Amino acid sequence: MAGALWQRLAPVLRLAGWSAVLALLIGLSLWQLRRAAEKTQMFAAFAQAQANPGQPAPDADTALLQAGNAVVFVRTCVTGRYDGGRQFLLEGQVQEGRAGLHVWTPLIRQAGPPVVVDRGWVAQDARRAPMEAIEVDGAERTACGLLVRFPRSGWRLPAPPATAWPRSVVYPDPGDLEAALASPVYPLLLLLDRHAPDGFQRQWQPVALGPERHYGYAVQWAGLAVTWVIATIAFRRRHRRSTSR
């Protein structure tokens, strides 16, 4: 009885398993196509924002609301004085195969919380210290650039206790920066314009992987789906031939 039931169910189970694998491969290909479309829109919004003449920086409350959006690109200029004595070094930043740091400097304004300015990338030495001088004077200046969300990572390590400056950080959120500075912080990060003074290497882009990478992955998954179908057809034909013999 059990054997007869298995003979009836086996073809159905094999077909279900085969169909599940095919659906998974096709689904992964379509997912990569959607990711590519999202990245294309993001790069277009990023380029458009950079081309804009600029607008006044949103107040802190509005910026906090904008920080909750998936994408934030606002071109603006902010006037104030750099707090060169209390800077942050964002670790784990690789550029052209070289390990380095991003230099984050608070810009103290007359009104409103300080705006953290990403002044760009510098290479680091064997001690993980900047290989360039990062000091900046406290003269009043206007820093222009693009307001974006603070970068995030899928994992976070607890920040080790530190008192010395500049302070190394690994993808901190604004709350971490506020705790270090003992003052409120503007909810968005300002990416300093590429040709603005007081900066380092700046090759800004909205995300590390562009849409072309996702299109490549989509083609790979689609190719695996086609291979799965062709391999199944070839196996079935060979099985029929061996059975007929």
* Domain match, 160 and 219 both: no
* Domain match, 152 and 178 both: yes
* Domain match, 177 and 245 both: no
Closest CA to 103 of 127, 66, 61, 131: 131
Could you tell me the CA-to-CA distances from 118 to 7, 12, 172, 196, 217 in Å, in that order?
A: 66, 59, 13, 12, 32
In the chain, at which residue ranges do the beta strands (DSSP E only) sit? Answer: 74-82, 88-95, 98-108, 115-123, 140-148, 167-169, 189-192
pLDDT of residue 128: 86
What value does the mean pLDDT take over residues 25-31?
92
Could you tell me the CA-to-CA distances from 156 to 93, 106, 127, 173, 226 in Å, in that order?
A: 15, 22, 22, 10, 39
Backbone dihedral angles phi then psi of residue 164, each to the nearest 5 degrees: -85, 155
* Domain match, 217 and 120 both: no
Give the pair of three-digit tokens for residue 136. 């900046």
Q: In this structure, is residue 226 part of a structural domain?
A: yes
Q: In this structure, is residue 22 part of a structural domain?
A: no
* Domain match, 178 and 102 both: yes
* CA separation for the pair 151, 94 (Å, rounded): 14
Q: In this structure, is residue 66 part of a structural domain?
A: yes
How confident is the model over 131-159, as pLDDT tens digits?
Answer: 899 999 999 999 999 999 998 865 555 55
* CA separation for the pair 181, 106 (Å, rounded): 9
Which domain covers residue 168, as residue numbers? 46-192
How confident is the model over 168-199, as pLDDT tens digits?
Answer: 999 998 999 999 999 999 999 999 999 899 99
* CA separation for the pair 145, 193 (Å, rounded): 5
Q: What are the residues whose beta carbons fall under 8 Å from the beta carbon of 165, sequence distance 6 or more?
A: 85, 86, 87
Residue 39 pLDDT > 90: no
For residues 137 and 9, the model is more confident at 137
* CA separation for the pair 134, 125 (Å, rounded): 14
* Domain match, 187 and 215 both: no
pLDDT of residue 19: 86
The residue type of 227 is: T
Based on the structure, what is the number of domains in the chain?
A: 2
Which value, in Å, is the radius of gyration of the alpha carbons in the chain?
A: 26
* Domain match, 95 and 145 both: yes
Q: In this structure, is residue 169 part of a structural domain?
A: yes
Please tell me the pTM assigned to this model.
Answer: 0.80
Prior bond of 58 cis (ω within 30°): no
